[in-house]
Amino acid sequence: MSGSKALSRFHQPISVPGRRLIHNVPLKFVVKKAVGGGSRAVNQEIPLIPFIDFLLCIVCFLLASFSASGELPVDKNVHLPKAENVLDMTEAPMVAITGTQILVDGTAAGSTRTIEDANRMQRIDELFTILKNKRELWKQVNPGKEFPGVAVLQVDKRVTALVVKSVFQTAAMSGYPSISFMVGRLGKNE
Protein backbone atom coordinates (compact mmCIF):
# COMPACT_ATOMS: atom_id res chain seq x y z
CA MET A 1 0.00 0.00 0.00
CA SER A 2 2.97 2.26 0.38
CA GLY A 3 3.05 2.57 -3.40
CA SER A 4 -0.49 3.91 -3.61
CA LYS A 5 0.23 6.41 -0.84
CA ALA A 6 3.15 7.78 -2.71
CA LEU A 7 0.98 8.13 -5.83
CA SER A 8 -1.69 10.06 -4.01
CA ARG A 9 0.98 12.36 -2.55
CA PHE A 10 2.20 13.37 -6.05
CA HIS A 11 -1.14 13.07 -7.75
CA GLN A 12 -1.48 15.59 -10.64
CA PRO A 13 -3.76 15.63 -13.65
CA ILE A 14 -1.95 14.90 -16.90
CA SER A 15 -2.01 17.97 -19.15
CA VAL A 16 -1.04 18.60 -22.74
CA PRO A 17 2.43 20.09 -23.04
CA GLY A 18 2.67 23.57 -24.72
CA ARG A 19 3.09 27.23 -24.13
CA ARG A 20 1.92 28.57 -20.84
CA LEU A 21 2.97 32.24 -20.84
CA ILE A 22 0.37 35.03 -21.15
CA HIS A 23 -2.43 32.49 -21.16
CA ASN A 24 -4.12 34.20 -18.27
CA VAL A 25 -4.57 37.51 -20.07
CA PRO A 26 -8.32 37.73 -20.76
CA LEU A 27 -7.93 39.15 -24.28
CA LYS A 28 -8.57 36.82 -27.17
CA PHE A 29 -6.11 38.39 -29.62
CA VAL A 30 -3.30 38.26 -27.05
CA VAL A 31 -3.98 34.60 -26.31
CA LYS A 32 -4.19 33.89 -30.03
CA LYS A 33 -0.80 35.51 -30.57
CA ALA A 34 0.75 33.71 -27.63
CA VAL A 35 -0.52 30.33 -28.74
CA GLY A 36 0.44 31.00 -32.32
CA GLY A 37 -2.91 29.87 -33.68
CA GLY A 38 -1.24 27.94 -36.48
CA SER A 39 -1.48 30.93 -38.82
CA ARG A 40 1.30 32.31 -41.02
CA ALA A 41 3.70 34.89 -39.60
CA VAL A 42 2.35 38.41 -40.10
CA ASN A 43 5.71 40.12 -40.51
CA GLN A 44 6.98 40.31 -44.09
CA GLU A 45 10.35 41.38 -45.47
CA ILE A 46 10.01 43.73 -48.43
CA PRO A 47 12.37 42.53 -51.17
CA LEU A 48 14.24 45.84 -51.49
CA ILE A 49 16.84 44.87 -54.08
CA PRO A 50 14.36 43.90 -56.86
CA PHE A 51 12.35 47.00 -55.93
CA ILE A 52 15.40 49.19 -56.47
CA ASP A 53 16.18 47.40 -59.74
CA PHE A 54 12.63 48.10 -60.89
CA LEU A 55 12.90 51.78 -59.94
CA LEU A 56 16.22 52.09 -61.75
CA CYS A 57 14.67 50.61 -64.90
CA ILE A 58 11.84 53.16 -64.77
CA VAL A 59 14.33 55.99 -64.21
CA CYS A 60 16.42 54.85 -67.20
CA PHE A 61 13.37 54.60 -69.46
CA LEU A 62 12.05 58.01 -68.43
CA LEU A 63 15.47 59.61 -68.80
CA ALA A 64 15.77 58.16 -72.31
CA SER A 65 12.40 59.58 -73.31
CA PHE A 66 12.94 62.89 -71.53
CA SER A 67 12.62 65.97 -73.67
CA ALA A 68 14.12 69.21 -72.37
CA SER A 69 12.32 71.27 -75.02
CA GLY A 70 8.95 70.59 -73.40
CA GLU A 71 5.57 70.16 -75.02
CA LEU A 72 4.73 71.98 -78.21
CA PRO A 73 2.27 74.76 -77.57
CA VAL A 74 -0.95 73.97 -79.40
CA ASP A 75 -3.74 76.51 -79.21
CA LYS A 76 -6.82 74.89 -77.67
CA ASN A 77 -9.02 76.48 -80.37
CA VAL A 78 -7.08 74.74 -83.11
CA HIS A 79 -8.30 71.28 -84.13
CA LEU A 80 -5.46 69.75 -86.10
CA PRO A 81 -6.09 67.23 -88.87
CA LYS A 82 -4.46 63.80 -88.66
CA ALA A 83 -2.09 62.15 -91.10
CA GLU A 84 -0.20 58.89 -91.42
CA ASN A 85 2.93 59.61 -93.48
CA VAL A 86 4.49 62.17 -91.18
CA LEU A 87 7.86 63.38 -89.92
CA ASP A 88 8.90 64.17 -86.35
CA MET A 89 8.39 67.71 -85.14
CA THR A 90 11.16 70.24 -85.45
CA GLU A 91 11.92 73.53 -83.74
CA ALA A 92 10.93 76.42 -85.97
CA PRO A 93 8.79 79.58 -85.87
CA MET A 94 5.18 78.53 -85.29
CA VAL A 95 2.51 80.23 -87.40
CA ALA A 96 -0.96 79.47 -86.03
CA ILE A 97 -4.24 80.16 -87.86
CA THR A 98 -7.09 80.16 -85.36
CA GLY A 99 -10.48 81.28 -86.62
CA THR A 100 -9.76 84.71 -88.06
CA GLN A 101 -6.43 85.34 -86.32
CA ILE A 102 -2.92 84.63 -87.52
CA LEU A 103 -0.30 84.29 -84.78
CA VAL A 104 3.46 83.89 -84.95
CA ASP A 105 4.78 82.25 -81.76
CA GLY A 106 1.71 83.63 -79.94
CA THR A 107 2.01 87.19 -81.31
CA ALA A 108 -0.77 88.54 -83.54
CA ALA A 109 0.37 88.73 -87.16
CA GLY A 110 -2.71 89.64 -89.17
CA SER A 111 -6.21 88.50 -89.91
CA THR A 112 -7.72 86.04 -92.38
CA ARG A 113 -10.68 88.37 -93.01
CA THR A 114 -8.90 90.43 -95.65
CA ILE A 115 -8.04 87.32 -97.66
CA GLU A 116 -11.56 85.91 -97.42
CA ASP A 117 -13.07 89.27 -98.39
CA ALA A 118 -10.77 89.64 -101.39
CA ASN A 119 -11.38 85.94 -102.30
CA ARG A 120 -7.94 85.63 -103.88
CA MET A 121 -4.46 84.68 -102.74
CA GLN A 122 -2.52 87.61 -101.34
CA ARG A 123 0.48 88.50 -99.21
CA ILE A 124 -0.20 89.18 -95.52
CA ASP A 125 2.00 92.20 -94.82
CA GLU A 126 2.08 91.90 -91.00
CA LEU A 127 3.05 88.24 -91.15
CA PHE A 128 5.64 88.98 -93.83
CA THR A 129 7.31 91.66 -91.66
CA ILE A 130 7.38 89.52 -88.51
CA LEU A 131 8.82 86.46 -90.30
CA LYS A 132 11.38 88.60 -92.13
CA ASN A 133 12.49 90.15 -88.80
CA LYS A 134 12.79 86.67 -87.29
CA ARG A 135 14.97 85.57 -90.18
CA GLU A 136 17.22 88.66 -89.82
CA LEU A 137 17.51 88.04 -86.07
CA TRP A 138 18.46 84.39 -86.66
CA LYS A 139 21.19 85.46 -89.09
CA GLN A 140 22.57 87.96 -86.57
CA VAL A 141 22.60 85.36 -83.78
CA ASN A 142 24.12 82.63 -86.02
CA PRO A 143 26.58 84.43 -88.31
CA GLY A 144 28.08 82.28 -91.08
CA LYS A 145 25.51 79.52 -90.70
CA GLU A 146 23.04 78.57 -93.40
CA PHE A 147 19.50 79.62 -92.56
CA PRO A 148 17.25 76.50 -92.43
CA GLY A 149 14.17 78.38 -93.68
CA VAL A 150 11.72 76.09 -91.91
CA ALA A 151 8.41 77.34 -90.49
CA VAL A 152 5.63 75.25 -88.96
CA LEU A 153 2.00 76.08 -89.76
CA GLN A 154 -0.55 75.16 -87.11
CA VAL A 155 -3.82 75.30 -89.02
CA ASP A 156 -7.32 74.44 -87.89
CA LYS A 157 -8.89 71.71 -90.03
CA ARG A 158 -11.84 73.98 -90.97
CA VAL A 159 -9.69 76.77 -92.41
CA THR A 160 -10.06 77.11 -96.18
CA ALA A 161 -7.30 76.33 -98.67
CA LEU A 162 -7.29 79.97 -99.82
CA VAL A 163 -6.10 81.16 -96.39
CA VAL A 164 -3.58 78.32 -96.10
CA LYS A 165 -2.12 79.06 -99.54
CA SER A 166 -1.88 82.79 -98.74
CA VAL A 167 -0.01 82.11 -95.48
CA PHE A 168 2.16 79.52 -97.27
CA GLN A 169 3.05 82.00 -100.00
CA THR A 170 3.73 84.82 -97.51
CA ALA A 171 6.04 82.59 -95.47
CA ALA A 172 7.90 81.54 -98.63
CA MET A 173 8.33 85.14 -99.71
CA SER A 174 9.70 86.14 -96.31
CA GLY A 175 12.48 83.57 -96.56
CA TYR A 176 10.88 80.36 -95.27
CA PRO A 177 10.56 78.10 -98.35
CA SER A 178 10.32 74.88 -96.36
CA ILE A 179 6.92 74.83 -94.68
CA SER A 180 5.67 72.08 -92.42
CA PHE A 181 2.04 71.55 -91.47
CA MET A 182 1.51 70.42 -87.90
CA VAL A 183 -0.76 67.36 -87.75
CA GLY A 184 -1.82 64.68 -85.33
CA ARG A 185 -0.16 61.32 -85.80
CA LEU A 186 -2.51 58.72 -87.24
CA GLY A 187 -1.77 55.11 -86.33
CA LYS A 188 -1.27 52.63 -89.17
CA ASN A 189 -4.25 50.59 -87.93
CA GLU A 190 -6.68 53.46 -87.45
Is-contact 131 171, C-beta < 8 A?
A: yes
Minimal CA–CA distance to 148: which of 173, 169, 177, 168? 177
Measured CA angle at 128 (ends 127, 131), to 5 deg: 80
Using alpha carbons, list the distances in angstroms from residue 94 to 44, 98, 104, 127, 150.
Answer: 56, 12, 6, 12, 10
**Shortest reach from residue 104's CB to other proteins, in Å:** 17
| Residue among 103 and 183 whose Cβ is closer to other proteins | 183
Backbone conformation region of residue 11, classed left if phi is above 0, alpha if psi is from -120 to 50, else beta: beta
| Residue among 27 and 161 whose Cβ is closer to other proteins | 161
**Shortest reach from residue 20's CB to other proteins, in Å:** 36
**Shortest reach from residue 94's CB to other proteins, in Å:** 11
Q: Site residues (CB under 8 A) for other proteins?
A: 48-49, 51-52, 55-56, 58-59, 62-63, 65-67, 70-72, 74, 79-90, 119-121, 152, 155-162, 164-165, 168-169, 171-173, 177-186, 190
| Residue among 124 and 159 whose Cβ is closer to other proteins | 159
CA 71 to chain CA centroid, nearest Å: 9
| Residue among 6 and 125 whose Cβ is closer to other proteins | 125
**Shortest reach from residue 25's CB to other proteins, in Å:** 34
